[in-house]
Structure 1
Amino acid sequence: MSESTADIAETGDIDYVAVQESAPFRELKKTQRSFVFPLSVAFLIWYFIYVLLSSFASDFMAQKVWGDITVGLLFGLGQFVTTFAITTWYVSYANRKLDPKAVAIREELEAAEEAAK
């Protein structure tokens, strides 16, 4: 990110375009996308399976599992459980992998901005 640091030193302002084009920022985006995109695709597939089964396999979804609990109800509740699990997983991932990289970028920018004053 030395290019963006030099831009700050010369102008006194942060060149956000240079920051976005820097290797550390590109690595941060790559790390975030490598988690978010595959998980989003997996969740959408899971969701569409639920919707399609609800629409076209109503007999299957109406099968009772225990008392008045049906397969469809379990799949529907599974959507909520999956959403909370993905959220928890992402927060953990972000805390471990994304936040340290973002903090390093921010600290370098803040140090360069201080030096420019």
Structure 2
Amino acid sequence: MATDAPQPPDGTGAGPGRPTTELFADVQRSAEFGELRRAHRSFAFPLTVGFIAWYLLYVLLSSYAGGFMGTTVVGNINVALVLGLGQFLTTFLIAWFYSRHAATRLDPKGAAIKSRMEEGS
């Protein structure tokens, strides 16, 4: 396969302009990489838990609160439709928030780590 680059005899993955396995391990243990992981996790985990809870609430209400979900809001629009559309809106909002978070907090840290790795190889 074209993406399978031959490994050097020492098996480290090192080559001209390529970081070594040791460099990857050093970066992974660094405080800067830990900050990057914390920045990602502190955003992604709470939002994931919140969205799953919101989704499960919708499913449970649909299954066990049919009367409530069938309550008319306006015309032929009921609570189930409003909450269902809210699921789509929430998905797009989370994607937008994550995009902003990544652009402002994750990408600069990742780029700095990458540039230092490329310099150190």
TM-score bin (small chain)? 0.7 to 0.9
> Scaled by the length of structure 2, what TM-score is found?
0.81
**Which residue does 1:5 correspond to in 2?**
none
Deviation at 1:17, TM superposition (A): 2.0
Aligned CA RMSD, in angstroms, stands at 1.4
1:33 maps onto 2:38 in alignment? no
Aligned to 1:61: 69
Secondary structure at the aligned position of 1:52 is classed as helix
Asked if residue 99 in structure 1 is aligned to residue 112 in structure 2, the reply is: no
Shift of 1:13: 3.8
Alignment length (residue pairs): 103
Compared with structure 1, are the counterparts of its residues 66 and 89 closer, same or farther at alpha carbon in structure 2 (3 Å cutoff)?
Answer: same
Deviations 1:63-103, CA, capped at 9 Å, x for gaps: 11111111000100100000000000000000000001001
Any stretches of 5+ residues in structure 2 without a counterpart? Answer: 1-13
Q: Distance in 1 between matches of 2:69 and 2:92?
A: 23
Match of 1:4 in 2: none
**5+ residue gaps, structure 1:** 1-7
Runs of 4+ in 1 over 2 A off after TM superposition: 12-15
